[in-house]
Amino acid sequence: MVNPNFKIAAIDGSARAGVLSMQRHVLNTPTFMPVGTRGAVRTITSKDLEELGADIILGNTYHLMLRPGEDLIQEFGGIHGFVDWKRLILTDSGGYQVFSLEPDVDDDGVEFKSTYDGSLHRLTPEKAVDIQCSLGADIQMVLDVCPPIPTEKRVLEIAVDRTHKWAIRGRNHFLSKEKSFENERAQFGIVQGGLDRELRRISAEQIVDIGFDGYAIGGLSVGETRQEMIEPMRISADALPKEQPRYFMGLGDPAGLVEAIACGVDMFDCVWPTRLARHGTALTMKGRVNLGAARYAKSDDAIDPDFDLSPASRWSRGYIRHLLSVGEPVAARLLTLHNLAWIIDFMKRARASIVQGTFDDFQKETLQIWG
Amino acid sequence: MVNPNFKIAAIDGSARAGVLSMQRHVLNTPTFMPVGTRGAVRTITSKDLEELGADIILGNTYHLMLRPGEDLIQEFGGIHGFVDWKRLILTDSGGYQVFSLEPDVDDDGVEFKSTYDGSLHRLTPEKAVDIQCSLGADIQMVLDVCPPIPTEKRVLEIAVDRTHKWAIRGRNHFLSKEKSFENERAQFGIVQGGLDRELRRISAEQIVDIGFDGYAIGGLSVGETRQEMIEPMRISADALPKEQPRYFMGLGDPAGLVEAIACGVDMFDCVWPTRLARHGTALTMKGRVNLGAARYAKSDDAIDPDFDLSPASRWSRGYIRHLLSVGEPVAARLLTLHNLAWIIDFMKRARASIVQGTFDDFQKETLQIWG
């Protein structure tokens, strides 16, 4: 399997510094993927993402298949052409958002109503592949079943079983189309199993047996505590092939990130840094700072005085606080740029510590501030 | 009067191509000032304005005195320090917005309630100078009385008379502080008189008699037709000294701009281009284009295919239309950047035609599309 080409450049404990080479772009791992839900990371552009040094962004199949629809996006040359983004795009399968709508599920697939206009839609493992092919994703995710936490064991078992069966169908369908992709596209499988260690192991084995280009840990970071999350994550990661990329779906806070990196996970996405930004909160070397607070009104400090690489460093906390207090929309933009720059730099620092063999210290320092 | 230093580089009919030299920055006229109501031009930053080539922006004294207050802004080194903007700032006196609240007016000044918290505030000609000094405006406006159109003649006469008396007090107060400004600040007087030709002439004479660093035409473009506006504007402009800058307050549509430039007006501000942008409408060489319309869904054209200088030219009409239809906030930003770039370029084209002696053609072409 040459697609994607993943090389591990350094290992420190279980943490890995890797290089993921796809036809369109080469990136270093661990990596963070900003989330462009509706064809844009809220408040910013593809040019901003280039300037931030983002290597890969995530698009939500659920939203894009409904608005503007995969056929229209395909006419523009896929998401890359539509949003004018030249680096990598990973799309989810749509499943996660569909399951949050409590849809009708059967062995064949899942039926749901559009949140936009109430119209009825159906997603199957094959359809999820077709849509993501139309969207032109560099990396696509197989359709899975993601139950909430907590969930009773019987329901979890059904979810793991269905995830397995759907993964076989999704993989077969992807491979039946693969020749036309000229090796530029990859498909990742997803491990489920909730917080149940045994089910995590079973699910990982089933998915690895099918053989994907990379593997994701799904169904975690959905409301459980970080402590509850770590063991099922570790079990999932340990059961995955070392030589292929591992992706934790929906994780983006620094403490969670270092714990996952420590377990050997390479790729992450989350709306957390950008959602915080839109609510007035900045990521800083000293922790979260809510710039909406009155105590920052007179502050001439930068958003994070200890972080020189912020694209918003020329504006003061006092100015941002003012923009927030009068509802100027550019406040959300500046904090989004800042938080993304901060988390992208955080991943670079994590990688550097792995290369230098000091990841342990990096993990401890991060947990002291963010744990 | 060396402040501001205004030189006329070329004349074509009554239209002028000028150079306004202030200590902080030198700019070419005719010039358009983007409006930064609450300390930001909505959706964009001072860095964006630099990249757009904006030379001067307008700040609203009414909003800034209430949020965050002129004292706080002064602590940051005025608006320049607060928003990190190194070129020119013109502030209005606050009067225009105060009068829209139907306040209590007497000979001394005007009393009004804050739209933010209902608190009571008072503005006098002296206070308007003090506040604008604290804000650190390069060019400040004297407090005037701006009645709506239509207004009965008796009310207009009172407004013109009060505008005159307040202009004397405002100018005296400004000059009493002027030494400390080291010639870096200017104050403009304002001509009122509604649509009444005689009152326009009288008001202009009164204001010119006082002697300001520049002169504004106020009280027009407040709901009357363009044809109704032209004659009172021409009379006001004709009565102003040729060697000083002339500013039409609150005008920003291409047809209005060429008519005013034809009358010898040099400076303009308006929320029109940026407000249109936030409502999904782009300025183009062929006129207004409402990109929210379904017919643009599949368009791969740039926002304005005939305008190469747009900072948003790399995104298609179809993509912008999608962002508008799903409510992504970055659509407003991209159209704001586009419309400001377009109108700033429009002013450059107007100036070039004056220098080349072809302003007449420029005016005719503009009115064919925008008239």
Tell me which residue in A38, A72, A300 faces B297 most closely, judged by beta carbons: A72
What value, to the nearest 5°, has the Cα angle with vertex A279 and ends A274 and A283? Answer: 55
Q: Which string of DSSP letters, residue by residue, matches A203-225? A: HHHHHHHH--SEEEE-S-SSSS-
Q: Would you tell me how many other CB atoms lie within 10 Å of the CB of residue B298?
A: 14
pLDDT reported for residue B102: 87
Mutate: best of B60, B71, B291, B330, partner A, most A CBs <10 A: B330
What are the residues of chain A with a beta carbon less than 8 Å away from any beta carbon of chain B?
Answer: 38-40, 42-47, 63, 67-68, 72, 75-76, 82-84, 297-298, 300, 314-316, 318-319, 322-323, 325-326, 328-330, 332-334
Peptide bond into B34 cis (omega under 30): no
- Which residues of chain B have a CB within 8 Å of the CB of A329? 42-43, 329, 332-333
Which residue, chain included where needed, has tokens 């491979």? A175
CATH topology for A5-270 is TIM Barrel (3.20.20)
- Which residues of chain B have a CB within 8 Å of the CB of A42? 328-330
Q: Would you tell me how many other CB atoms lie within 10 Å of the CB of residue A189?
A: 29
Interchain CB distance below 8 Å, B298 and A72: yes
Tell me which residue in A47, A298, A332 faces B72 most closely, judged by beta carbons: A298
Interchain CB distance below 8 Å, B72 and A38: no
Check if A84 is active-site: no
Chains A and B: how many Cβ contacts under 8 Å? 106
How far A204 CA lies from chain B's nearest CA (Å)? 37
Residue spans per domain, chain A? 5-270, 271-371
Closest chain B CA to residue A69: B322
For the segment(s) B5-268, the CATH number from 3.20.20.105, 3.30.300.10, 3.30.1020.10, 1.10.3720.10 is 3.20.20.105
Interchain CB distance below 8 Å, B39 and A326: yes
Alpha helices in chain A (DSSP H): 46-52, 61-66, 70-75, 78-83, 95-99, 125-135, 153-177, 197-210, 226-238, 254-262, 272-278, 317-325, 330-356, 359-370
- Which residues of chain A have a CB within 8 Å of the CB of B51? none
Q: Distance between CA atoms of A292 and A297, rounded to whole angstroms?
A: 9
How confident is residue B1, by pLDDT bands cut at 50, 70 and 90? very low
pLDDT tens, B153-171? Answer: 999 999 999 999 999 999 9
Largest CA distance in chain B: 62
How confident is residue A178, by pLDDT bands cut at 50, 70 and 90? low
pLDDT tens, B287-335? Answer: 999 999 999 999 999 999 999 999 999 999 999 999 999 999 999 999 9
How confident is residue A4, by pLDDT bands cut at 50, 70 and 90? confident
Interchain CB distance below 8 Å, B326 and A75: no
How confident is residue B184, by pLDDT bands cut at 50, 70 and 90? confident
Asked whether the CA dihedral A202, A208, A210, A213 is positive or negative, the reply is positive
pLDDT reported for residue A179: 66
Which of B55, B138, B269, B345 is flagged as catalytic?
B269
pLDDT reported for residue A1: 44
Closest chain A CA to residue B332: A43
Q: Distance between CA atoms of B195 and B151, rounded to whole angstroms?
A: 9
How far A75 CA lies from chain B's nearest CA (Å)? 8
pLDDT reported for residue A181: 62
What is the ipTM score, two decimals? 0.97
How far B194 CA lies from chain A's nearest CA (Å)? 33
- Which residues of chain B have a CB within 8 Å of the CB of A40? 323, 328, 330
Q: Distance between CA atoms of B236 and B190, rounded to whole angstroms?
A: 10
Structure tokens given for B27? 């700019």
Q: What percent of chain B has pLDDT over 90?
A: 95
- Which residues of chain B have a CB within 8 Å of the CB of A332? 329
Q: Distance between CA atoms of B18 and B35, rounded to whole angstroms?
A: 21
Which of A55, A92, A253, A345 is flagged as catalytic?
A92
Provide mean pLDDT across the span A13-40.
97
Interchain CB distance below 8 Å, A68 and B323: no
Residue pair A245/A267 in contact (Cβ under 8 Å)? The answer is yes
pLDDT tens, B229-267? Answer: 999 999 999 999 999 999 999 999 999 999 999 999 999
Closest chain B CA to residue A317: B82
Provide mean pLDDT across the span B28-44.
97
Check if A92 is active-site: yes
* pLDDT of B181 higher than 90: no
pLDDT reported for residue A102: 87
pLDDT tens, B206-234? Answer: 999 999 999 999 999 999 999 999 999 99
Tell me which residue in A75, A84, A300 faces B76 most closely, judged by beta carbons: A300
Interchain CB distance below 8 Å, B76 and A334: no
Structure tokens given for A256? 């969670």
How confident is residue B183, by pLDDT bands cut at 50, 70 and 90? low
Interchain CB distance below 8 Å, A76 and B318: yes
Mutate: best of B114, B319, B334, partner A, most A CBs <10 A: B319
How far B319 CA lies from chain A's nearest CA (Å)? 6
Q: Distance between CA atoms of B73 and B65, rounded to whole angstroms?
A: 9
Q: Distance between CA atoms of B187 and B244, rounded to whole angstroms?
A: 12
